[in-house]
Structure 1
Amino acid sequence: MSKPNHIKPKAAPIFKIPATPGAGLNPIPSSSPGFGTPIHPIRPFNAAAAPQKSNVLSIILPPATLRPLAFRVFTRKYGLTLTSSALQVLATFIGRHCGTGWREEGLGEKVLEEVAKSWKSRNGGVIVEGDSNDMKDILKNFEGSMNGGMVAAPRELSRHSSLGLGSSQHGEVSHTRLGLRPQLLEREDSQSSLGMSTLEVEYDEDDEGLRDPRKWMKVIDAFEQPRLVYNVGKKHFDKDPTKPSLLPQPSQKTQIFRNRYNLIHQRLLRNESFQAPTFDAANAPSFRGSNSTAATAQQSYKITPIANLLGRNGSNHMLLGLLTVSPTGTLAINDLTGSIALDLTRAKSLPEDGSWFAPGMIVIVDGLYEEENNNSGGGLGGNGGVGGTISGKFLGFSVGGPTCERRSVTLGLTGQNGEGEVTAGGGFGWVDFLGVGSERAVGSKMRKMEQRLIRNPARDDESGGRGRIIVVGELNLDQPAALQALKKLLGLYAAEPEKDTPMTFVLMGNFVQHAVMARGVSGGSIEYKEYFDSLASTLSEYPTLLQAATFIFVPGDNDGWASSFSAGAATPLPRKGVPEMFTSRIKRAFATANSEAEKDKGFKTNGEAIWTSNPSRVSVFGPTHEILLFRDNMSSRLRRTSVKLSTSEPADDEEFGTPPPPPTHPDPTEMEIDTDAQAVESHIDSAEPSEEPLSSDEHTARKLVKTILDQGYLSPFGMAIRPVLWDHVGALQVYPLPTAMVLADTDAPVFCITYERCHVMNPGSVVAPGRRGVARWVEYNIGSKTGRVREAQF
């Protein structure tokens, strides 16, 4: 009997597939060790159950409509400047992906926030350009993660990793009070950031080692400092991409002057005295436009390029340029456009006898241009003169140095004494000048750490404290009295309580009186090694200091190896530290003291000896404290090479009026001499001028400080007077002004002076000259940012 056609035949039970969970949904069989399949079947991707990407109706968003919101996010919050092309690109992107909800739902602001964060993490600079590769990459990455007008994965696009605050496994920022560890405040050569540093480990308050201020200190060698070049077009600092060399291309020599000039020029243009008021910009008076002293307060000065003097015979101008000696032996002034002969027979300095002016310095000269009678057209041989020597001469009536700019103004800091937050507008607060983190990245957190560890009210006294740096001047080891003086001062600090031991001792060269290995009185390499061995024996007598402090050694011109070919003459700057072969015994003394401390007391922190370059910098709490260490007899070199100016008043006639003193050059007599650490007023403008005449030593000290800080350069001389290494001149720039500066000059009087909130100290020689058995040094307090000269009999 046949079966109906509509009945489907069933398979025999032996041929049936056994039922397995989810067998109908997953074609992958159960677990098999041979093929590594999972125990439980993997369900296939269900497209219906996946979250659907919501669609947004695109709109055309005009850039002018988005401009207020973009300005609030990019400029006010992140300190960035949007170009018109970037605004157009962002408006198109937000209009396409956010639609009508860009304003009502706040979607546009969230997108701008993420774009700004990504731009900062990529270190694209302060100017945001729409046609840059960084902007294209950012928007391309965001385009694939946009969902409903919002960024789908904000945790992956945030700056938690770039800020180094650490993150948990859920992508949230870990709860930490500071999020910093001092050992990671270092520069990464592979990172092109100018304001970011690797701060990835949390701060543990229970870690006693991190409570020591010395752990937050770093010594920056001149050859390890970031090489930054000022970009005139972007008004920003760029890292030099080339590899430094001791034998660079000749173009680097020209670049030294160009970079120095551009730095000072932008510094002047940001000064109020060189900014013309908008209501009367067309009729801004010249430097000598009025004889009224009352009118000078509202004058705005203008710098004239030297090439623009052509065809302007008999007109008054103000020039900014490099003071040089021409091949004919006459004095000249150069800028980026040309050169002209300078006549300073009737010139006087402003303020009077307040600074030295030597060839190699950048100066401001106010005077009159006078063409040659036989060449009424001016120029170089009657053919123009741009880029060459301008015919005629410039009659200078007043000469002054460029105005000095405070560190807080350079970094854009607000608040009292420049300890507030970084402003969104001006300043270079995002630039990492030393490779320890910028003000914008770590400045506020480092100040909180400093407040907790150093500025503790219980330790804010004059008797001692951990936050002190002891600066010992020239230490001639071949002079027996120098070691006796060193023993005396080390004994004084070793007798203090162990918790109040100074954090750092700075020992400056020259470590011998004469150049070693140059057939001098100080001998050769064997005698030089013996001198440091005797220093190691002296330091070993004070193991408590070696266990709890950092000793920094800064060489001089007579130290090896540089003195072996200079024979005591000025060596090129910067110069490397003393070679390791001479310092092995001192390092062994520190290792012995640290091993005994770990055995007896279980110390977690060990002392160390650092042999650094000249100059070098000490960073304490990141960018909060920058201390510049420099050893050079600069005052005697300034006296030999400076130009002697007339001290008498010029004739007050119809042609040459008496020029008014500019408000941009503070009188050096208003600087404070710091005889007491608590009696220093950092704002020199508010200090009352002294009625009593200054002594010769005080006047020399103030004149030296003003000259160096106004120039913003440690070697303001010609290459033949003080040679420099062309590829490492960035370490000689004093910009921004450091918090403190040690200028060890044995030819200048010992002083502690604050000028424009930069505290400058000169410890002189450890053995006071002309006084028998007197040891002298400088004690600098980090909390008060002031130093004082101390003496003791030995």
Structure 2
Amino acid sequence: MDPTSTPRHPDRFRLGAADPIPSSSPAFGTPARPFRMQKTHAPPTKTSILPILLPSSTLRPVAFRTFTRKHNLTISSSALQTLAVFVGKNCGSGWREEGLAERVLDEVAKIWKRAGGSVIVEEGKGASLKTILQTLEGSMSGGRVVTGKVHPQDGSARSLSGGLDAGRTESNTEGTRSGDPDEDDSKLSLHPRHWFKAIDAFDLPRLTYNVDKKYFEAIKSKPTLFPSPSHKTALFRDRYNLVYQRLLRNETFQSSLGVIGVPSLQRSSSNLATQQSYKLTPIANLLGRSGSSHLLLGLLSISPTGDLSLIDLTGSVALDLSHARMIPEDGAWFAPGMIVLVDGIYEEEEMVQGSVLGGNSGVGGTIGGHFVGVSICGPPCERRDISLGTNSRQGSGELSSSGGFGWVDFLGIGSERAQGARMRRIQEKCLRGEPEVMEAPPRLKMAVMSEINLDNMRALDALRKVFSTYNDLALVDRPQTFVLIGNFVQKAIINGGGRAGSIEYKEHFDSLAVVLSEFPALLQHSTFVFVPGDNDPWASAFSAGAASTIPRQPIPELFTSRIKRAFATANSELDRSQISEPMGEALWTSNPARLSWFGPVHDIAIFRDDISSRMRRTAINVQADNDNGDATMHETLEDATSAAVSRAPELANQANGAKSDAMAPAASAARKLVKTVLDQGTLSPFPLPIRPVLWDHASAVQLYPLPTALILADSDAAPFCMTYEGCHVMNPGRFLPDGAVPTVRWIEYDVLRSRGKVKEERY
């Protein structure tokens, strides 16, 4: 008798039957073994299952193999717990040996995808997991799904989620369902400016990197200007975790199992990245390993004693860079607040009064001794397509199923995996144009101007020159967007100094409105974006022009009413009943800000800050002794971070008529600035006292993944346009450069080609 089954009584016990069954108790009709019945009269049996308590950690390998590897889905911890309870209840002890769990999970994954679920399997993401399991439970027998009860083409399978309409709405919003887009896109506007959006820094999704899940998740707490001190710690922890996970995906930090032996560390070795892997050592693990060489990743900081130190998540150690060598030579800035790679030797001090330096024994504090740096460099940058997992595309244009963060919506407008393919099709239709309406397809151009001091009358004359230049061009050759970046006054005037203050500031924008009114064609067919600087209100009211907190709010509407009136007047003069073009408008954004063309296809970051001068003031001075140190270690770290990953930025489209030899110092300074900012992956790689950042909005200053273009408006640096790791970085410089000849300078950016050009004219 099977101990796991309960004997079932027949409806009536017939004596003298053709197949009599001896009974241990004829009086009660209890069979000695399970009752055998003829197959012709036997009803379908349902094998009973003894439920078990199945831990989610035990089911995790099977769920990963089924959901992630087979169906390219990611399962959340709460959903895994729900599935573990379901499998333990309906599959019992045979979930592993008989393969029942894998079959059930495979069916759940198929139904989830048919019901329009997102790539992350969790409750409320495009489908209802609870409803799917409830429906599936009624179709199971003996721990197996009965074939035919849940058919792939059955219409009921699509209605497994109770709130499918809401799920489809969310799914379409995030673009998780591709489908056939031609029907939905046929009624959409095909004018490019319909797909332009300026995104305020305070409207960006607040994301944090979860180390355990290795994924980004939204911060659910409400942002505030007075958060708890733990948010300050989380700011730097998130920065470190982002750089750390980016570094581990680099080829040079991944072990190669197919190589036997130690390769020769030579600069001429082109396949070094595939032969040698490098390991990072936590600072706490340096204890007891005096005299050994290590590669550290940490945050440069100034200790309370005034010495330079290196900090990671396990501890900190005093840093000696007197003999260190920069990699590349004079190719990047290194200042406190930046995350760097340091290769060197740990030297442990003798015990002082029975305790190590700092009074701590390792984790969480300063360890004894100091770390003698031999080489120092920034963490290698990562291209945008690698971060998003879209670097390998199929011939049909569909995105591959490789890893990355392509499903993360970093801007709040849809992720690359969800909306990228659809937006590229819309972009192609928009740029194709209608032959009967347009003689030539439209061009996506932007005119970027920085440091427009409206309190200088020369600036208004220069603006007239620029606007008249574009006003004389054909409609298809005009920029679709004008970006005007502050400071809009030379000195902060709203600081309680007894002057007119806000009244005087408003008069400057009224003067700009008069200039704009002279070019109604530009106001009717273009979008003007205004980005404030440190001298603009209201931040300058208490900072007096010094570095204020970022991100900072847009210029208040109190000062912009006359400009808005100029746009309303120009749009009223144009009959739009015959055209589908959107009205021209003025957008007032924060600093920093993001501009988006066609969703995630073109991501343009804007930041106004004199970052180069701040780096020169705070950078550490590393003077290497070329006769000392380990030359092999120098070559190793340089090959690992420079040759294998970081390619030197290419200078392109310098100012018209400039000579290459004259631009060499400016080009070198520009490369140094661009490499530093993009390698750090943030717009503010400084300590908070140097450049304050709002703790709850720190994700708005991150540059991960890299945008397609970055407008780094620095008035102290020469104008440049260059591309580094696929990101095109531009600096318009000063709108009115210093000199005896009245000259105006700006940048014209081609969005489709992702290339900018420095323009310069006399007025």
Give the TM-score of the pair, scaled to structure 2. Answer: 0.80
Partner residue in 2 for 1:528: 505
- Is the contact between residue 123 and residue 194 of structure 1 (CA under 8 Å) also seen in structure 2? no
Distance 2:122 2:399 in 1: 16
Range that drifts further, 737-746 or 381-390: 381-390
State which of 738, 746, 750 in structure 2 corresponds to 1:769: 738
Distance 1:599 1:675 in 2: 38
Partner residue in 1 for 2:586: 609
Deviation, structure 1 residue 605: 1.7
SS at match of 1:752: strand
Q: Return closer, same or farther for 1:383/1:644 CA change in 2, 3 Å cut-off.
A: closer
Say whether residues 1:473 and 2:475 are aligned partners: no
Residue pairs, 1:72-91, within 5 angstroms: 74-80=68-74
Amino acid at match of 1:574: P
SS at match of 1:775: strand
Distance 1:419 1:480 in 2: 55
Distance 2:366 2:198 in 1: 44
Distance 1:475 1:772 in 2: 18
Deviation, structure 1 residue 443: 1.1
Distance 2:134 2:522 in 1: 58
> RMSD of aligned C-alpha atoms?
4.3
Range that drifts further, 414-423 or 137-146: 414-423
Distance 2:287 2:737 in 1: 56
Range that drifts further, 691-700 or 263-272: 691-700
**What is the percentage of aligned positions where both structures have the same residue?**
48
Deviation, structure 1 residue 509: 0.3
SS at match of 1:649: coil
- Is the contact between residue 777 and residue 789 of structure 1 (CA under 8 Å) also seen in structure 2? yes
Residue pairs, 1:356-755, within 5 angstroms: 356-374=333-351, 379-380=356-357, 384-415=361-392, 420-454=397-431, 465-518=442-495, 524-598=501-575, 605-651=582-628, 661-665=638-642, 670-675=648-653, 695-755=664-724
Q: Return closer, same or farther for 1:378/1:304 CA change in 2, 3 Å cut-off.
A: farther
Deviation, structure 1 residue 613: 0.2
Amino acid at match of 1:517: I
Q: Return closer, same or farther for 1:526/1:654 CA change in 2, 3 Å cut-off.
A: closer
> Structure 2 regions of 5+ residues with no counterpart?
1-42, 141-145
Distance 2:597 2:575 in 1: 25
Partner residue in 2 for 1:30: none
Distance 1:352 1:657 in 2: 11
- Is the contact between residue 452 and residue 484 of structure 2 (CA under 8 Å) also seen in structure 1? yes
Any idea what the Cα deviations from partners look like across 1:384-428, whole Å, max 9, x if unmatched? 121001111000011111111111001100346999544324101
Q: Return closer, same or farther for 1:398/1:518 CA change in 2, 3 Å cut-off.
A: same
Q: Return closer, same or farther for 1:90/1:422 CA change in 2, 3 Å cut-off.
A: farther
Q: Return closer, same or farther for 1:675/1:454 CA change in 2, 3 Å cut-off.
A: same
- Is the contact between residue 651 and residue 657 of structure 1 (CA under 8 Å) also seen in structure 2? no
Amino acid at match of 2:716: D
Any idea what the Cα deviations from partners look like across 1:84-133, whole Å, max 9, x if unmatched? 9788678679979x9xxx99xx998654311345694495469x9xxxx9
Q: Return closer, same or farther for 1:418/1:373 CA change in 2, 3 Å cut-off.
A: farther
Distance 1:325 1:792 in 2: 46
Deviation, structure 1 residue 79: 3.8
SS at match of 1:454: helix
Amino acid at match of 1:782: V
Range that drifts further, 292-301 or 352-361: 292-301
Partner residue in 2 for 1:229: 208
Partner residue in 1 for 2:159: 156
- Is the contact between residue 194 and residue 430 of structure 1 (CA under 8 Å) also seen in structure 2? no
Kindly tell me the number of residue pairs found equivalent between the two proteins. 687
Distance 1:543 1:600 in 2: 18
Partner residue in 2 for 1:304: 281
Any idea what the Cα deviations from partners look like across 1:132-182, whole Å, max 9, x if unmatched? x9755541254358884306612324798567589xxxxxxxxxxxx98xx
Partner residue in 2 for 1:5: none
Distance 1:547 1:495 in 2: 14
Give the TM-score of the pair, scaled to structure 1. Answer: 0.77
Any idea what the Cα deviations from partners look like across 1:24-68, whole Å, max 9, x if unmatched? xxxxxxxxxxxxxxxxxxxxxxxxxxxxxx989669999999999
- Is the contact between residue 732 and residue 745 of structure 2 (CA under 8 Å) also seen in structure 1? yes
Distance 1:775 1:639 in 2: 27
Distance 1:793 1:567 in 2: 33
Residue pairs, 1:22-421, within 5 angstroms: 71=65, 74-80=68-74, 111-116=108-113, 120-121=117-118, 123-124=120-121, 135-136=129-130, 138-143=132-137, 148-150=148-150, 153-157=156-160, 161=165, 203=184, 205=186, 210-279=189-258, 294=269, 296-297=272-273, 298-374=275-351, 379-380=356-357, 384-415=361-392, 420-421=397-398
Amino acid at match of 1:449: I
Partner residue in 1 for 2:40: none
Distance 1:144 1:615 in 2: 54
Deviation, structure 1 residue 442: 1.2
Deviation, structure 1 residue 675: 0.8
Distance 2:493 2:562 in 1: 19
Amino acid at match of 1:438: S
